[in-house]
Amino acid sequence: MNRKMVFYMIGRIILIEAALLLLPSVCALIYRENCLFALLITILIAVVSGLGLTLLNKPKDITIFAKEGFAIVALAWIVLSAIGALPFVISGEIPSFTDAFFETVSGFTTTGASILTDVEAMPKGLLFWRSFTHWIGGMGILVLVMAIVPTDSGRSIHIMRAEMPGPIIGKLVPRIRTTAKILYLIYIVMTAVQVIFLLCGKMSLFESLIHAFGTAGTGGFGAKADSIAGYSPYLQWVITVFMLIFGVNFNLYYLILVRKARSAFKSEEFWSYIAIVSVATAVITFNILPQMKNVSESLRAAAFQVASIISTTGYATADFNLWPSLSKGILFILMFTGACAGSTAGGLKISRVVLIFKSIRSNLKHMLHSRSVESVRFEGKTLDNATVRNVTAYLGIYIFCFVAIFLILCIEPFDLETNISAVAACFNNVGPGFSAVGPASSYTEYSDLSTWVLSFAMLLGRLEIFPVLLLFSPTVWIKTKTTKKRI
């Protein structure tokens, strides 16, 4: 592996994080809070270590192959979270580094799982940073790097592939840098629109920003102990709609932008997403009707929770722990499906679920008619076997990781529902689970070991397993020899 290039890129990413940390610092300055000091020290540490890494590792050879791409992405996310956790530790708001790391990973991976018991006591500067990590992590820090920093290497597609969720990554335009720019532009504009809608509902600017970041990244960190429950029905609907919007593949928005709306609305994944959301909402609405005052309230709560879970955001307007088993069961399943590929959501992604069903169907058919020739079609195109195989392999490793993490968590003295939903909520980047980790409680009860394991689970889920696992493969770390002479 070209280690110099990997460390050089990570150095650059740390420098960008230092720049991003300026925003919460400004926020802390406005509110005249003591956490400003902690933020500034973190910026200093980031600048020093970032400069150190870039200057010490000036690479001669800048080629990036798949190996380097995976390593850069996985390492960058770990390092980013470690540095991002420092403000919490230095300011003393979250004294344990383990907990602070969990909180930051939860932010960057857009999970929204928190170890905080009293959110409202946090300084505003740190709350801002916590939510801002959602926004950065949602579209991906390396996509941001690619949009800003020009790279000569055409192979940087490997980085994009490692960071963007979904089975098939297509470029919008020939150049990867332009693609990254377009994606971020769409992202910024949609976030801004949401802020405006929230402001119209008389939410304060600070809270609007926090909730817009949380929704855009499909994260779920809020500013209140009861999440969104305390806000007006209008605000709840705005957040519901935007959670769903951010769960759609961003390529569709690009297609609409270039006036190809017709092909955008042909997307199979999009319609499957809409279908799942509507059916789930309808069932839950009727299921929870006895607990609610009227149909409109029931519909609002059901739609909000479905949108929040399927987009893996994790906001709550009600304690769904108290809902009937059927509703809880549906929400639990939605945690796994996740939203569309190419969005900011986590989970398996609808496209994978659809593909798995299609390949099962064609396999079944093949069993009945052993000579039939089958092909799996998706989005109007026949998929090659390699893609289908990748998706099934992903499902396999997904289940395997899930089981392994769950087993470790079983050491904890909690009931099965708590543990299994905690793993599902972290692994799929949702946030709140059921029972003891439900929307009304937090992850603070877990031991240090489990906190680390859950942090790891969140990273696995966000980067879609492979990049993180590949870090443990020894072949990735074999050093490239620098040869001076050709031939």
Partner 1 sequence: MNIIVVGCGKIGTTLVSSLVAEGHDLVAVDNNPDVIAQITDIYDVMGICGNGADCDILEEAAANKADLIVTATGSDELNMLACFLAKRMGTKHTIARIRNPEYNDRSLSFMRHHLDLSLAINPELLAARELFSLLKLPSAAKVETFSVRNFQIIELRLKPDSLLDGMRLSQMRNVYKGNYLICAVQRGDEAYIPDGNFILRSGDKIGLTATHTEIAKLLKELGLMQKQARNIMILGGSRTAYYLTKMLCAAGNSVTVIERDRRLCEEFCETVPKATVINGDGTQQDLLLEEGLRSVDAFVSLTGIDEENILLASYASSQNVPKVISKVNREELIPLAEHWGLDCLVSPRKIIADVLVRYARALQNSEDSSVETLYKLMDDKVEVLEFIVKPDFPKLQIPFKDLKTKPNTLVAGIMRDRKTIIPSGEDMLLGGDKVVVLAANQRINKLSDILG
Interface positions with partner 1 (CB under 8 A): 153-158, 171, 173-178, 384, 486-487
- If the CB atoms of residues 12 and 155 are measured against partner 1, the closer one turns out to be 155
The residues, any chain, with a CB within 8 Å of residue 211's CB and separated by 6 or more, are 131, 198, 203, 222, 223, 228, 239
**Distance between CA atoms of 423 and 412, rounded to whole angstroms?**
12
Q: By 3-state DSSP, what share of the chain in percent is helix, strand and coil, each rounded to 5?
A: 65, 0, 30
Q: What is the nearest approach in angstroms of partner 1 to the Cβ of residue 260?
A: 10
Q: Give the other-Cβ count within 10 Å of 67's Cβ.
A: 19
Q: What is the nearest approach in angstroms of partner 1 to the Cβ of residue 189?
A: 23
Q: What is the nearest approach in angstroms of partner 1 to the Cβ of residue 293?
A: 52
In three-state secondary structure terms, 212 is helix
Q: What is the nearest approach in angstroms of partner 1 to the Cβ of residue 183?
A: 15
- If the CB atoms of residues 384 and 448 are measured against partner 1, the closer one turns out to be 384
Query: If you ran DSSP here, which 8-state letter would residue 384 be given?
Result: P
Residue 106: both structure tokens together: 């939860």
**What is the phi/psi pair of residue 382, to 5°?**
-75, 130
- If the CB atoms of residues 17 and 163 are measured against partner 1, the closer one turns out to be 163
Q: What is the nearest approach in angstroms of partner 1 to the Cβ of residue 455?
A: 32
Residue 253: both structure tokens together: 């928005």
Strand (E) or helix (H) holding 241: helix 233-245
Q: What is the nearest approach in angstroms of partner 1 to the Cβ of residue 147?
A: 14
Q: Is the four-CA dihedral 137, 78, 339, 279 of positive or negative sign?
A: negative
- If the CB atoms of residues 203 and 255 are measured against partner 1, the closer one turns out to be 255
Do 312 and 346 meet the contact criterion of CB atoms below 8 Å apart? yes
Do 341 and 272 meet the contact criterion of CB atoms below 8 Å apart? no
Q: What is the nearest approach in angstroms of partner 1 to the Cβ of residue 160?
A: 10
For 272-304, give one letter per residue: b (16+ CB within 10 A) or e: bbeebbeebbeebbebbeeebeeeebbbbbbbb
Residue 412 burial by Cβ neighbours in a 10 Å radius (0-12, 13-18, 19+): middle
Q: What is the nearest approach in angstroms of partner 1 to the Cβ of residue 472?
A: 24
Q: What is the nearest approach in angstroms of partner 1 to the Cβ of residue 173?
A: 7
Do 437 and 450 meet the contact criterion of CB atoms below 8 Å apart? no
Single out the residue of 448, 404, 402, 407 nearest to residue 425, CA to CA: 402
